[in-house]
Chains A and B, each alone.
Chain A
């Protein structure tokens, strides 16, 4: 066998004039090409399989389910008295629940505050009467050196106006001093009381949160407060006059 091969090689060499080295070179290149081709095919097969699993299977399996039976209008059923009674009682029930749901919207004045866009909407008898920019909690998480911490966020949900005040005085809490690197004074120290910082009016919604004015009007529309809601002077006046103690404030 080996002898035959050798003889064939020699015959090829004499016939074509190609040396055995060159022939070997060509063969090794051919082998390399074949390996690369197989590698390419393998990569392609694996990629296609992966894509099929990733995108093909979810699409195909969604469409393998037969649709449910379609509702019909059965004439023999519709003509019955029981059917009419049933449908009428259902209609009545739907209307009752929808009315009850609708009644949840206050007929009096109420305020909506959007803390994401920092906008407010004042409603009077279910009609939007005023809207504009406000400022809400900054989401700053303040950590003091004595292990105390605060997150300045505006609470969300439904609140009621618990109290109203004109020319309010701000009694600065501890964080107001800690934030500025000032030593915290005793509870009733005169440095705790700041006049004019809250504007002309303030409405309390509980837990120390207020709707008040601001000296920093350029920051309206941005989340910069310590949890209270700031409005500009005109909007604050309109809100103050429109809402009474007990009015609802919706914050989302």
Chain B
């Protein structure tokens, strides 16, 4: 009568290795399944985002009764409504007391505006728009960009205000012995920042990193990969709870270093930004 626990012709060692192999394969299969599951959910979220945009900013019955649906595909009409939306958004931003930023991608220009007055014009060196935004209908763009975006949160490589705490001296002797305050080093630190805007958009502004500034290039990669890691962690948490991961398309802009610093310092907390994409 052969032993019931082992196969009659398989030695225990081979049996063990077969078991290990099976466990190994199982781990790989589970990993593959998780990957596929994550990939599917992560791929669906941009589709859902674009669909919701296109449906939220769909032409209302009032505007359709004025024009007719055939206008919504006409290039000249869409170009003019785009210009009108941009001008209206700038006017709305000018009505507020705070400093506003206008980003015009077709003109490759960023302007800092106060009450409608352009106080600085900055040339965009290069920019990229998330591929998913190609799916946004032109009419959706015009309606979406007709209002300024609000900065909901931000992450940056330099502080917004380089505040340095100084404890008052007790007497003149202590005052003269006090060390000098450490100066703000943001003038030499690399500048990268990401703004989380309303309507689920993200605006990332990066300084130009030339080949000569290796330190800046390393800092840029660290900044980008930290943000990616953060996104991955947030997405993984959602996927683990069987939810679609959040999706925020990004507009990435590269400007000269000193300009990146000026833009970041100029944008107030919860400031407004007007965008022109097409």
Contact = CB atoms under 8 A, between A and B. Distances in A.
A73 B74 CA distance: 5
B228 interface: yes
Size bracket, chain A contacts: 35 or more
Interface in A84-129: 86-87, 90-91, 93-94, 97-98, 100-101, 104-106, 110, 112, 114-117
B168 A178 contact: yes
Contacts of B98: 157
Interface in A50-72: 52-55, 57-58, 60-69, 71-72
A116 B77 CA distance: 41
Contact of B73 (A69, A94, A115): A69
Nearest to B72: A71
A58 B172 contact: no
Contacts, number: 200
Contact of B35 (A53, A86, A180): A53
A91 B80 contact: yes
Nearest to A249: B114
Interface of B: 11, 24, 27-28, 31, 35, 38-39, 42-43, 45-47, 50, 54, 67, 70-71, 73-78, 80-81, 83-84, 87-88, 90-91, 94, 97-99, 112, 114-120, 130-132, 134-138, 140, 161-175, 181, 184, 225, 228-229, 231-232, 236, 247, 249, 258, 261-262, 265-266, 268
29 contacts: A42-B24, A53-B35, A54-B229, A57-B38, A65-B132, A68-B134, A71-B73, A77-B74, A86-B67, A86-B71, A87-B76, A97-B88, A101-B91, A117-B258, A139-B184, A140-B163, A140-B164, A140-B165, A141-B164, A141-B165, A144-B168, A145-B170, A156-B268, A179-B169, A179-B175, A181-B168, A181-B171, A181-B173, A252-B266
